Structures are given as structure tokens and as C-alpha cells.
Structure 1
Amino acid sequence: MKIDGRRQGILDLLMEAGTATVDELSARFDVSRMTIHRDLDQLEQEGLLRKIRGGASMQASGQFESDFRYRQRLAGPEKQRIAAAAASMIGPGQTIIIDDSSTAGGVVKHLAELRPLTVITNNLAVIQELAGTAGITLITLGGQYTKKFHGFFGLLAEDTLRSLRADVALVSTSSIHGGSAFHQDQEVVQLKRLMLKAAARKMLLVDHSKFGRPALHFLTELGAFDAVLTGAEPPADAKAELEAADIDLTIVEKD
């Protein structure tokens, strides 16, 4: 197997399993452990995985956010409940911003009943689903496509956002610590901040696993949001921190 094919195979395997050892990968692709280490070093340098002791992982850490495709597989029912609840807070005729996250992107399934709408987004999955949809005015943010986040970032996207105003921004993030939101990637943080600045109302959509997790870069205080939606009770210590920060958390329960 050629190098590019093997490295894509490693990524595909990690998409399914989350983690794998060097020995497992060596046996799977019939190459030496040293070759696998070189593959993992290159893929880590590209930001596509993180090396751990004895292997590699697609799971998030304080400095590494998972690939969009991997995150789409996680907490699916909970994210769907959160998206439905967020959609119920949107009205026909409004302009909404949807960020690059799989959680906020789930709102798309509920937009047909709210038309007419204007949707501003950098999320390629949202763009692909809404392109050509009657009653939806779609404004896409230009910029450089990032495969890992399946969206567009950089100066062009930022400049476009600075020229726009919206009724509602729907954003997610990878970490809630105390009364603040964090993310691992500073370019992602910058664009999310501009989305929040461009919107009259701001909603944070996060599944409950994000509470108490670490991430490197501060995004904003939770008090900046008009609503913080999650799909289950966060851990007791995280809930206590939210109460101490006087954050009103909306828990979208199962039917």
C-alpha cells in the first residue's frame, strides 16, 4: 500500500475506533512499527490525530479537537434534541448564523418549516444541505477550507462576518470550564467570536460531555449567551460551577 493510502487508512480506522495502538496498526497495514510511527508523526503534524503512549487517538484533548467526521458520530440523539430546541427559538424571516460545529449544524433539518430565512455559515455540511433550497437565502463565508473542521476560516471569512448582522447566532464549542467556554484552535475561536459579535441573540449548543473538559483557548464567558442548551445533566462539580457563576442552563430532556 502506498504511503498516502496507508495514512488515509489509519485515519479511517481511527474514525471508527477512536484509538489504536502502534502494534495494531503495524499488523493491520503489514508494515514496521517504525513506519507507523513516521505515519503518525506526519498525521499529528497535520493536526489530524494525536499521538498517545503506544498509539494514536482521534479523541479530543486540551490542545487537540477531533475531526468533524468523528464528532458527527458522537452523542447523536442528544445533539438532535438540542438542535430541535434551538430551532424552536427561531422565527420565520430571521437571519441566523450557524457555526462549523456538528451540534449547531443539526438545526438545518428543522429550517424548512421556518422559511423564509437567511442563513449565514462557514459550515460546508450546512452549505451542501441548504444550497438551492427554496425560501432559504444562503450566505456563505469565504476563506480557506479546513478538512478537519469541514468549514471555511481565515481572513476572508472574518472580513465577511464583520460586514454582516444577524438576529441569532447558533454556536457550539469543545469545552466548558467553570463559567467560560473554551476551544483548542485559535482560528476557530476568532471566527466564533465574530459570529457572536454579529448577532443580536446568541445561543450556545453543547452536549453534556463538554462540561469539565479542558481546552487551550478562551472563547467567551457563558454570560455572553442568551441561552445555553445541553441535552443532559452535566457532572455535579461542573453544575456547581455553573450555579456559582449564575449561568442559566437549559437541559433538553428526552421525550
Structure 2
Amino acid sequence: MKAEARRQAIMEFLMEAGSASVDEIAELFAVSKMTVHRDLDQLETESLLRKVRGGATVQSSSQFESDFVYRARLATDEKRAIAQAAAEHVEPGQSIILDDGSTIAEMARFLLERRPLTLITNNANVMSTMMGIQGLKLISLGGDYNKRFHGFFGLLTEQALDSIRADQAFISTSSVSDGTAFHQDQEIVKTKRAIIAAADTRHLLVDHTKFDKTALHALTGLGEFARVITGAAISDRARSGIEEAGAVLEIARGQAETPL
């Protein structure tokens, strides 16, 4: 396992466990304690965890503010490539919905080239990035702010979505397996389902690390999406699940350039 992939896996483990010792991490990933210390030093430098005596934690760290912050710092080159590829499916004059995902947040800046647009979102990062831009009508979905996901969710969000109809929606999720998208949070699932129902065409944006994994709640079958966009090769099993669902698999090639 390459260092970047291992560090991502270490963070995912710590997100579930809260904390772990160097010995536990070394045994879990079959690497030396010295390698674990190097990985933890790098992750601490990026403010993703806090080293403690004999291990590391993501608890009680003022730097570790939310899952969104963590997700936004992972696989950034791939996320940008996915975001740029997704933006190419948007036509000027359309109305589109962007959900709470960190990959979706990357997509927002590429939409400047697609104006005029109506942009509907519950993503707080997208709201702050796109506010006041000429040629862009920004509709902010109300609801309860969730610090962990840096977005707005709940009954008010769902009611707002029930009253609109958009041309396209771009949606993310935490895992995909056997033709089904999954997410670990029930409230977020409800909002994402409302987004799916509010758009004529839906696209799923997921980086390659999320395939062949499940989470607590089934979000929807991949047949609800016109295409699944990822940034690297995926397993034959994952590919088959997409094809059998009737969705198009699109792999974004190359490193995206962030527009000014």
C-alpha cells in the first residue's frame, strides 16, 4: 500500500475509533512503528489528527473541526479532476443542485465558465464561494446547519427541495457497492434523496477509494443516476455494478487545473 493510501486508511480508522496506539496501527497495516510515526507526523502537520503519547487521536483537537475538513484534504487532485469533468455536463442557462460533498465543493469553481446558471445548494462552502457572482443566481436551501458535514439538512431543507425542479443534480456519497450508494448518516440520506427527486438528471461523483465499501444506510440504487464519475480505475466488481444499473461510468483523466 502506498503512503498516501495508507494515511487515508489510517484516518478512516481513526474516524471510527477516535484514537489508536502506534502498536495497533502498525499491526493493522502491517508496517513498522517507524513508518507509523512518519505517517502520524505528516497527518498532524496537515492538522488532521493530534499525536499523543504512544498513539494519535482525532478527539479534542481544535484543528479537527469536521468530516468536511478531513474529506476536503484527501485525494485533492482526483477530486478536482472529477469536479472539472462533472462541470462539463452543465449547459449555460440550466438550473443545477449541488449537495454537501467535498468533491461537489470543488466543482463550484469550474461552473464559472458555464454561466449564466441557477445554482441551488445546501453546501455551506459552495454558498460562501459563489455568493455575489455575476451571472449566477444562487438559491440557498434552508435547514439546520450540520458542522460535521458543513451543510444544511433536515425538514426545512427537504421541504424546499420538494418545491423546486432542477435540470441536473450532482451528488456525492461515502461508499458504493454492488450497484448501490450508501451513506452513514440517516439525516443526510433523507436530504440526498430529496435532491435526487428534485432533478431531471442526476450524476454521482465519487473518488475511487469509495468503491466496494458499504455504510449503514442504503441511499439509492445507481440506476437513479445518468452517470457515475470517478477519477481512477475501479474494480471489475464496481464497474459491473454500475453497468448493470444502467448508469454510464466516466473516469476523469488527468489533473485538473483550478480556474482563477
State TM-score, norm by structure 1: 0.74
Once the two structures are TM-superposed, the CA of residue 210 in structure 1 deviates from its matched residue by 0.7
Q: Give the corresponding residue for 1:223.
A: 223
Q: Give the corresponding residue for 2:122.
A: 122
| Contact kept in structure 2, 1:175 and 1:183, CA below 8 Å | yes
| d(CA) in 2 for partners of 1:234, 1:253 | 13
Once the two structures are TM-superposed, the CA of residue 57 in structure 1 deviates from its matched residue by 5.5
Percentage of pairs with the same residue? 50
Note the residue ranges of structure 1 that are not aligned, 5 or more in a row.
Answer: 1-13, 25-48, 59-65
| Contact kept in structure 2, 1:178 and 1:245, CA below 8 Å | no
Q: Give the corresponding residue for 1:102.
A: 102
Q: Give the corresponding residue for 1:11.
A: none
Map 1:7-18 to 2 at 5 A: 18=11
| Contact kept in structure 1, 2:181 and 2:221, CA below 8 Å | yes
Secondary structure of the structure 2 residue equivalent to 1:156: helix
Q: Give the corresponding residue for 1:29.
A: none
| d(CA) in 2 for partners of 1:232, 1:134 | 34
Note the residue ranges of structure 2 that are not aligned, 5 or more in a row.
Answer: 1-6, 24-48, 50-54, 60-65, 256-260
Give aligned pairs, total.
206
Once the two structures are TM-superposed, the CA of residue 23 in structure 1 deviates from its matched residue by 8.6
Once the two structures are TM-superposed, the CA of residue 243 in structure 1 deviates from its matched residue by 4.3
Q: Give the corresponding residue for 2:254.
A: 254
Map 1:25-104 to 2 at 5 A: 56=57, 67-104=67-104
Answering whether residue 189 of structure 2 is matched by residue 189 of structure 1, we say yes
Aligned partner letter, 2:126: V
Question: How much is the aligned-residue C-alpha RMSD, in angstroms?
Answer: 2.5
| Contact kept in structure 2, 1:172 and 1:204, CA below 8 Å | yes
Secondary structure of the structure 1 residue equivalent to 2:188: helix
| Contact kept in structure 2, 1:179 and 1:247, CA below 8 Å | no
Answering whether residue 20 of structure 2 is matched by residue 21 of structure 1, we say yes
Once the two structures are TM-superposed, the CA of residue 252 in structure 1 deviates from its matched residue by 1.2
| d(CA) in 2 for partners of 1:247, 1:92 | 24
Instruction: Give CA-to-partner distance per residue, 1:198-234, whole Å, 9 cap, x none.
Output: 1011011110111011201111110110111111111
Q: Give the corresponding residue for 2:153.
A: 153
| Contact kept in structure 2, 1:142 and 1:152, CA below 8 Å | yes
| d(CA) in 2 for partners of 1:244, 1:125 | 34
Q: Give the corresponding residue for 1:35.
A: none
State TM-score, norm by structure 2: 0.73
Instruction: Give CA-to-partner distance per residue, 1:141-161, whole Å, 9 cap, x none.
Output: 111100000000111111111
Q: Give the corresponding residue for 1:170.
A: 170
| d(CA) in 1 for partners of 2:159, 2:242 | 34
| Contact kept in structure 2, 1:21 and 1:56, CA below 8 Å | yes
| d(CA) in 2 for partners of 1:247, 1:118 | 25
Aligned partner letter, 1:75: A
Once the two structures are TM-superposed, the CA of residue 237 in structure 1 deviates from its matched residue by 3.4
Instruction: Give CA-to-partner distance per residue, 1:128-179, whole Å, 9 cap, x none.
Output: 0011111111100111100000000111111111001100000010110101
Aligned partner letter, 1:149: F
